[in-house]
Structure 1
Amino acid sequence: MAPFSSPSPSTTAHVLVIGAGLGGLCLAQGLRRAGISTAVYERDASPVARAQGHRLHLDANGRRALAATLPPDLFALLGAMAGRPAPRVSGFDERLRPAGVFALDEDPVPDDVMPSHVVIDRRILRQVLLDGLDEVVEFGRRCVGHEADGDTVTAFFSDGGTARGTLLVAADGVGSVIRSQRLPHARVIDSGARLIYGRVPLTPALRAELPPAMSSVFNSVVGPGRRFLGIAPVEYRERPRAAAARLASRVELDPAEDSLAVMFGRRRESLGLSDEELLTASGERLREVVLGQLGGWHPLLRRVVADWDTSTLYPITVRGSVPVPPWPSSPVTLLGDAVHAMSPAAGAGANMALRDAAALSTSLARATPGTPLVDLVRDYERDMIEKGFDAVKRSSANGVRILGEDPLPE
């Protein structure tokens, strides 16, 4: 397969994408599929330069976005690998007593290749999204600003280089440099909650000990003082390398084993570490701190945390975007966390970024000679702003209830 398709006769657009996370790569795949020229610039030196999460629950938004943007063989590859846990969220207290079950809505439009509510390793998903984009994605390019001039937009990089296109898309995450310049009034706030993420090998012995109710997409354990432990299985229907060899042999995937994604959360002032200490602590220290928070909890929960692979542990400051009203559209737009960062308490952030990417690529693919680009951007932004900030509010409400996050300002 060629690394990039030539632009279609209907458009001469060249899209600059800042950020090669899930949203940026999904957009690049969608633009490539539509025959629209694009280039992606990522500040990290490589795809594995830093931890970017252990698992992703793909809901209907995420699944539909990937179906719309990926080549069919890559979508089939994801469908073959992705785990299919029970479509529910199960609640427990600190003694592992059931505390409610929330059934997840099924997509009314079924898909035989990949249903809603599957689970995939983020690292594996990103490797799939990078397929065919070798000549499109440039790593080690930190964007430091942009300038719009008539029908062109120029991106500036820390190495002194520039790139010029007809549309600039900020997919550079919660600390977006593009947002700070394009929407200087848009605020991102610290919610006051902190999370520690890690991975636990899902051995046959551990699998046998987990109660059947924990076969859910996500398991939420809430104890006294709003201590929160999240446990989510990452189990493959087919091993990634075997699935790739069968369905898309050109794709190189890392080996992967079944695991539990395990996260602990609490208010920063109750965690026992300052933010500086949290960011510099070793994996062993982070595990020790969390075990110290779980006194009196069920032995199985403590053992799961004790089995954390300390090399996979990293902390997160939970932040959220304060919703803003629509703005006048221009040849500079945004997607995902760059515009509507949200608490992970609703599991919606990555899915909304994928949804944004598919919606934007679909809008741009409708271009015909003479169609003003800004009109297509406006169509995309109108829907993105409404749906994205609705998800922000829903995620914040869950975070306030479960983790004691600070509510979003009115």
Structure 2
Amino acid sequence: MTTSALRVIVIGAGLGGLALAQGLRRDGIDVSVHERDASPTSRRQGYRLRLNPDGLHALEELLPPPLSHLVWAATSPQPPTVILDARLDQLSATDPGASADGGRNVAVNRLTLRQILLHGLDDIVHFGKECTGYRIHADSTVTAHFRDGSQATGDVLVAADGVNSAVRRQYLPHARVMDTGVRVIYGRFPLTPETTGLIPDRLFTLYTGIVGPDHQHVGLAPVQYRNPPSDAVARLAPTLDLADTEDYMMCLFSARTELLPHTDAELHRASGQQLRDMAAGITRGWNPLLGSIIALWEPESVFSLTIRSSVPLTPWPTSTVTLLGDAIHAMSPAVGVGANTALRDALTLATQLGKAARGADLVSSLHAYEADMTAYGFDAVRTSARYGQQRIGQAPLPDPTS
């Protein structure tokens, strides 16, 4: 099989799917990406990510050099994670997901990273394409079907469509995604001289976790650029128009559902102001500084999310359909490695598909990817669940022997 003969269909234009597409295009492989959302900004998914050595290495390998250099220029270096109690006394200063190379753990604006990953892919990324299922043909090619009646056929179908993956539901109907029992309210506010002056320097860490009673949790995570991102864009990708390039503080409040004064339906309907007020009310007895910080949250930025986790699976027979990221190993945010694991998937899969494009057996190459991915991916799920129990009170993963 020549490089140009392999056709890959990616379902989902999240970070993992786009990174995979960049790597395949760089290797000369025919790839198309199909995303259900109408645009990159039509749904809020969070504001800030930690990139660890796995994620940074994947981006360096998958992206053309100007874009990988731009990713680094758009990151924000921070000291290690700090965990405090509700009085703001330090409990620990450890980061269970960090490597010994502390300089290779940085913060990045999720939207900025996605914009960089989209750059140069305009002709192959198709928005408004909700995948409803697929069909594997006798010759092992795969056709993806979309709600608008269109379809796409290729040699490989990659499910990168997140925790609600339609492909996974059809392909691995026995795969379980559990509700951890935790809800998170996310918000943010700009870091101006005025707002920065209200926050002690010791809270400007890679991530500051503040643990209250019954595993209630407030998190603070700044994005502060080394240099204006516009300077790097002008030098490395002058046709890219980056949005949202000002310094800001990402904030969150999490609690178990039974500790919240609202049902899930009420949380979903609540305005940003109502969600902010709820977080402020629940934490009123904590250090008064927290109330001042929560009051800074921009109401239009505040939204709630249900925290879910995949339940690790035993291996399945490999075919020309495979999965990456949250579509197969969604995990608690307690360690902050979900996005990095998806990027690692993208590099591992791109490497194996490159081998197949150059003549290796396709299914054997996909099997090698799945063996690696399920090992490190489900290890990350288990680690995240363990720290999630300790830090935010999430329900434990089911006993695999039960």
How far apart are 1:368 and its partner, in Å? Answer: 5.4
1:257 partner SS: coil
1:321 aligned partner: 310
2:11 aligned partner: 18
Unaligned 5+ runs, structure 1? 1-7
1:94 aligned partner: 86
CA contact (8 A) 1:240 1:255 kept: no
Letter in 2 for 1:12: A
CA contact (8 A) 1:11 1:367 kept: no
CA distances 1:2-40 after superposition (whole Å, capped 9, x unpaired): xxxxxx944511000000000100000010111110000
The separation in 1 between residues aligned to 2:181 and 2:85, in whole angstroms, is 23
Instruction: Give the alignment partner of residue 141 of structure 1, picking from 129, 138, 149.
Output: 129
2:221 partner SS: strand
CA distances 1:375-404 after superposition (whole Å, capped 9, x unpaired): 110010000000000000011111111111
How far apart are 1:241 and its partner, in Å? Answer: 2.1
Letter in 2 for 1:295: R
2:81 partner SS: strand
CA distances 1:21-67 after superposition (whole Å, capped 9, x unpaired): 00100000010111110000000011111112100100011101100
Residues 255 and 406 of structure 1, relative CA distance in 2, 3 Å threshold? closer
1:53 equivalent to 2:46? Answer yes
Greater CA drift, 60-69 or 95-104: 95-104
2:56 aligned partner: 63
Letter in 2 for 1:131: H
1:403 equivalent to 2:392? Answer yes
1:76 aligned partner: 69
> Pairwise mapping of residues 368-387 of structure 1 onto structure 2 (< 5 A)?
370-387=359-376
CA RMSD of aligned residues (A): 1.6
How far apart are 1:209 and its partner, in Å? Answer: 3.7
TM-score normalised according to structure 2 size: 0.96
CA contact (8 A) 1:147 1:155 kept: yes
Q: Percent identity?
A: 47
TM-score normalised according to structure 1 size: 0.94
The separation in 2 between residues aligned to 1:20 and 1:231, in whole angstroms, is 27
2:33 aligned partner: 40
1:284 equivalent to 2:273? Answer yes
2:196 aligned partner: 207
Instruction: Give the alignment partner of residue 29 of structure 1, picking from 10, 22, 29.
Output: 22
How far apart are 1:297 and its partner, in Å? Answer: 1.4
2:205 aligned partner: 216
Letter in 2 for 1:127: Q
How far apart are 1:107 and its partner, in Å? Answer: 5.2
Instruction: Give the alignment partner of residue 260 of structure 1, picking from 249, 269, 274.
Output: 249
Q: Please identify runs of 4+ aligned residues in structure 1 that moved more than 3 A.
A: 8-11, 103-110
The separation in 2 between residues aligned to 1:117 and 1:60, in whole angstroms, is 7
Letter in 2 for 1:116: R
1:121 equivalent to 2:114? Answer no
CA distances 1:163-185 after superposition (whole Å, capped 9, x unpaired): 10000000000000100111111
Letter in 2 for 1:275: D
1:346 partner SS: coil
> Pairwise mapping of residues 302-313 of structure 1 onto structure 2 (< 5 A)?
302-313=291-302
The separation in 1 between residues aligned to 2:204 and 2:277, in whole angstroms, is 27
CA contact (8 A) 1:200 1:304 kept: no
Unaligned 5+ runs, structure 2? none
The separation in 2 between residues aligned to 1:106 and 1:343, in whole angstroms, is 16
Residues 109 and 269 of structure 1, relative CA distance in 2, 3 Å threshold? closer
How far apart are 1:225 and its partner, in Å? Answer: 2.1
The separation in 2 between residues aligned to 1:107 and 1:98, in whole angstroms, is 21
Number of matched pairs? 398
CA contact (8 A) 2:4 2:30 kept: no
